[in-house]
Amino acid sequence: DAALVALKRALSLAPRDANIHCALADLYAQCGDIPNATSHLQDALALRPNWPDKRRAEILTTLGEHFRKALLYEDAVTMHRRALALAPNDRDIRYNLATALIGTWELEEAEALFLGLLESDKDFRRTYVNLGNVYRNLNRLDDAGRIFDEALGQDPTNSTIFSNLATIATDRGWYRT
């Protein structure tokens, strides 16, 4: 509460300070108030602060993630694309874009991004699960099973991976009645 009060006071004193808007957005996001977090990030960007590209890309991809969590996938993809244009080699932005593309069913593009991420970093664990889900959505169950097996090799206690492997087995009809 004290942080929120202080940041609101700071904003009342400097309403055109984009960094205060970003700090408020971070605080709202931590509290689970995604609409207010989103609003403050949009306000910060609208002020056109003199940020380096890296900072602007971070804000855009954070906004994209807020949109994705609110199931506004097209808006999420737009923000992540803008961020990626500013920071084309940023691994996290590429991952965020690929994840948002799943929500818009642009699965081939998501696949290409995930494969590119794995090509540059085989240990990027969270990529395996999402790539496996892309393959499952494309009904490429053999590819999905292979990717989930690779993920399991990296993280043998991950319940999400086991759940995905069970789903593939069910999709294939490998269950007992």
Residue-wise pLDDT tens digits, 77-102: 999 999 999 999 999 999 999 999 99
The residues, any chain, with a CB within 8 Å of residue 128's CB and separated by 6 or more, are 118, 147, 148, 150, 151, 154, 161
CA dihedral 109, 29, 69, 51 (to 10 degrees): -30
pLDDT for the residue 173: 80
Q: What is the pLDDT of residues 104-155, one digit of tens each?
A: 999 999 999 999 999 988 877 789 999 999 999 999 999 999 999 988 888 8
Please identify which residue in the block is written with the tokens 């506004």. 72
